[in-house]
Amino acid sequence: MENLREQTAVCGIDCFNCEFYHTNIAGFFESISPERKAGFAARGATRENLSCKGCRKDGCKMLAGACATLKCAKEKNVEFCYECADFPCQKLQPIAENADRYPHNLKVYNLTAIKNRGLETWAKEVTMIRKRYFKGKFAIGAGPQLKDEN
């Protein structure tokens, strides 16, 4: 596996799990409907120009411009946002819009897990973290649960 730091955004997003990450994009394009492929094509988006090597290497290919969070981290000379005296800041604030489609509300959780458990341990857990977020059912006092978990 490539360097985990290079595959993890400063904000805690696991680039290596993104459908547009360079090792995942072929499978993503093979799995989508012809209608969705046509929608990408209409916008001039192809597998090649959407293929990304992570925010730290390419900048996020999904953003229309530069990432303000990445720029801020570089200016403050931090590897991850949790190292900043202003953590958590407004750039990491969760928002309901598209929360069912994008993992951005996981940023503070991921950053805290990276800080407390280390990057490698978090990376082993993050696929299940995403699965619980997107497919789990909320249980008061227990957090997100999947049917196959206790």
pLDDT tens, residue by residue, 4-48? 899 999 999 999 988 888 888 888 888 888 888 888 888 888 888
CA gap 65, 34 in Å, rounded: 28
- Which one has a higher pLDDT value, 76 or 43? 76
- Residue 86 has a pLDDT of 96
Q: SS3 breakdown of the chain: % helix, strand, coil, rounded to 5? A: 50, 5, 40
Backbone angles phi, psi at 118, to 5 degrees: 95, 155
pTM of the model: 0.84
pLDDT tens, residue by residue, 93-128? 999 998 888 888 999 999 999 999 999 999 999 999
